[in-house]
Amino acid sequence: MTTFDEQDAGIALPEDPAYVAATQVFNLAAPVAPAAAVTARTVEQIRAAITYAKSAGLKVRVQTTGHSAGSAKPMDDAILVRTELDGEVHVDTERRIARIPAGTQWKAVVEATAPHGLTAPHGSAGTVGVVGYLLRGGISFYGREHGLAVNSVRAIELVTADGDLRRVDADNDPELFWALRGGGGGFGVVTAIEVDLFATTSVVTGTAFWPAVHARTLLSLWEKWCRDAPTAVSTSFRLLNLPPFPDIPPELTGGTMVCVDGVILGADAVAQRYADDLLAPLRAVAEPVMDTWHATTTHAVLETHMDPDEPVPAQGDHFLITELGEEGIAEFLRVLGEGSGSPLVMAGLRQLGGAMAVPDPEGGALTHLDAAYVYSGAGIPMDPEVAATIAEHLALARSALSRWDTGQTAPTFVESAVQPQGHLSAADIERVDAVRSRIDPRGLFRGDVMTSTSAL
């Protein structure tokens, strides 16, 4: 059992009840088993964890919600710090900046900013932790208009390996500030982050579903529309094989379904025209089985993608691709569409381009993504046999789409520590590593680094 001092610092070993809470992950297929763990609500608890790690010969690992647990390396030689820092989201309406304590999830940020007519470039799920999403790039439904979410970060507070609490920004250790923003982690324990907000109160958003018999026509129309789509619009095209869970409408569980969802900034005549331009040709192919597209408030954006609110097991793959064209569409549907035998619950394309393709001269290590779409696919590995089948089909899809694979990845979509990754150039990797060596010469946080196995 833990000693009194360890208990006082909140540090828990595997036999302690607090260990279970500190090691919870959203992806149930990727449980973590560190040597010790702590749910840190104060800077002092983080410092105590670092001290403990050094005395016990352990490394330090960091997580919040565990959405990205599938991409984490083993933690048996480390203490895991689960960040749930005390404090609320503070909104500076004059400067349009929010200060967000580490551990905060996006739902809380939207709730804090919306009353002021402001929002942040948040993700599609309200349960995702803010810090990890932002520092890994962040692809928002607002991204085609406002760029990668990481470019909105204005300051970062973190405890480094020496126990110091640092605030870094463009004027205070700008090199560390650069590396933190997309550099792949492994610099310390972030305690708070400041992010730019932008004004918006209304959106047009929703999801429409069709039977997969219409997939070829729908995907061709959608991809053609994407090529000249206005930047105020961000969408995705997904193939879904949804299980008959109680919270899923039964009309969506009878076989492979096509889903087109997204967000259009604004709720005026222009936004409605954009919606009509996107949806009218799709609706003309066949009447959707379900169609929720409507003008509403920004709160609804967190419901658009229908991401689960409760932890689930997930096993997936991801890479960035070019425009598919008719040949690529045929391959995509051959391996992932109706009749393919795909065991994946979801396989889809997330629209990039717009401001997300434009480098930010004041940004960090990752400022843009030069690709047409994010490809991602995932299944639910209920047992080892199903997991093996999912892995085989993910590999099949990767091979079939290899001609359109850019070799790049978006860090927030990476599902495995062993999959090919590439979001930094070789020169940027070297530059980021130099910053790590300065900030953490003993490599205390090195286990959290997302390595890029291919340079751009």
The answer for residues whose C-beta is within 8 angstroms of residue 103's C-beta and 6 or more apart is 64, 82, 83, 84, 85, 129, 131
In contact, 95 and 47? CB cutoff 8 Å: no
Average pLDDT value for residue range 123-147: 95
- CATH number of this structure's domain 202-413, picked from the four choices 3.20.20.70, 3.40.50.720, 3.40.462.20, 3.30.565.10: 3.40.462.20
Q: Give residue 184's pLDDT band: very low, low, confident or very high (50, 70, 90).
A: very high
Q: Which amino acid, 127?
A: T
Q: Give residue 5's pLDDT band: very low, low, confident or very high (50, 70, 90).
A: low
pLDDT value of position 433: 95
**Length of the chain (residues):** 456
Q: Give residue 169's pLDDT band: very low, low, confident or very high (50, 70, 90).
A: very high
| Residue 392 scores a pLDDT above 70 | yes
Residues of the chain with CATH 3.30.43.10: 4-83
| Residue 317 scores a pLDDT above 50 | yes
Residues of the chain with CATH 3.30.465.10: 90-199+423-438
% of the chain beyond a pLDDT of 90: 85
pLDDT value of position 454: 33
pLDDT in tens, 6-30: 555 689 999 999 999 999 999 999 9
Beta-bridged to residue 235, according to DSSP, are 262
To 10 degrees, what angle do helices 269-285 and 215-226 make? 150
In contact, 91 and 113? CB cutoff 8 Å: yes
Which residue in the block uniquely carries the two structure tokens 């990890």?
A: 132
Using DSSP, state whether 367 is helix, strand or coil: coil
| Residue 415 scores a pLDDT above 90 | no
pTM (2 d.p.): 0.93
Enter the CATH code of domain 90-199+423-438: 3.30.465.10
Residues of the chain with CATH 3.40.462.20: 202-413
Chain-centre distance of CA 418, in angstroms?
18
| Residue 4 scores a pLDDT above 80 | no
pLDDT value of position 451: 62
Two tokens at 295?
């003008």
Average pLDDT value for residue range 315-322: 96
Q: Which amino acid, 261?
A: D
Mean pLDDT of the chain: 93
pLDDT value of position 249: 87
Average pLDDT value for residue range 238-243: 94
Average pLDDT value for residue range 82-92: 97
Fold exhibited by the domain 4-83: 3.30.43
pLDDT in tens, 281-292: 999 999 999 999
